[in-house]
Amino acid sequence: MMGDTLICTLGLAPAVVTECLQELLCRGVRIGRVVCIYSSGAKPSFKILEYVFKRRFGVIELVGEEFELDDIRSDQDSLAFRRKVAEVIERERSAGREIHLCISGGRKTMGFDALLVAQAMGVRHVYHVVSEEHRGPTLFSALQDQFSVDDLLKRAESEEGVDALLLDICDPRHFRYYVIDIPIPDISVEERERMKQALGI
């Protein structure tokens, strides 16, 4: 059984991915694959997730879809991002996987754009993570001020304290968080096609 795909927008807080994943697994959703869409500026977050997935979610495949720009600063950047989200949804669907989408990571425009693409493409399972504590993202930012992520990952191989710290950044057991289901109105095929055209996807 290959399981469903969880597609996540990703920014500077990698914990939103593990929080959403853990909650869906607790709900009995069979996630077999997680795809993170991120700008080049958020690559350190994906590297941390790669480490955490190997140690904590070994049976679940993690895939990175790096967005070519370092950030989203224009209408054209948003358009390119929407097309990337649509491409990933289409690819995962073509492989016969049910799609779940977490829109919490990255710039607010990334979440808005991903939500609109989801509606235009008929994705029904969309989530937003709300965390009451910011220890994970704050800790990750503080670490990045002191060390490169590559250096931290290398040190984690031999230093137990660094290993524990990296795992702690993305450990949803340490945070109070909520995964909110976003209701997606069911619209006709014709309306979806009009939306796709308007969104440029």
Q: What is the pLDDT of residue 141?
A: 72
Q: What is the pLDDT of residue 68?
A: 83
Selected residue with higher pLDDT from 165 and 51:
51
Task: Tell me the one-letter amino acid at 147.
Answer: F
Q: Are strands 4-10 and 99-102 parallel, antiparallel or unpaired?
A: parallel
Mean pLDDT of 100-108: 96
CB atoms under 10 Å from CB of 195, counted, come to 16
CATH value at residue 85: 3.40.50.10770
Contacts of 61 (CB under 8 A, 6+ apart): 32, 33, 34
Q: What is the pLDDT of residue 133?
A: 60
The mean pLDDT of the chain is: 90
Q: Which domain holds residue 159?
A: 4-199
Instruction: Enter the pTM of the model.
Output: 0.91
Q: What is the largest CA-CA distance in the chain?
A: 57
Query: pLDDT, tens digit, for every residue of 75-96?
Result: 999 999 999 999 999 999 999 9
Sorting pLDDT into bands at 50, 70 and 90, what band is 100? very high
Query: pLDDT, tens digit, for every residue of 31-51?
Result: 999 999 999 999 999 999 999
Q: What is the pLDDT of residue 139?
A: 65
Q: How many domains does the chain have?
A: 1
Mean pLDDT of 98-118: 96
Position 135 pLDDT exceeds 80: no
Mean pLDDT of 57-76: 92
Position 161 pLDDT exceeds 90: no
Alpha carbon distance 31, 29 (integer Å): 6
Contacts of 93 (CB under 8 A, 6+ apart): 99
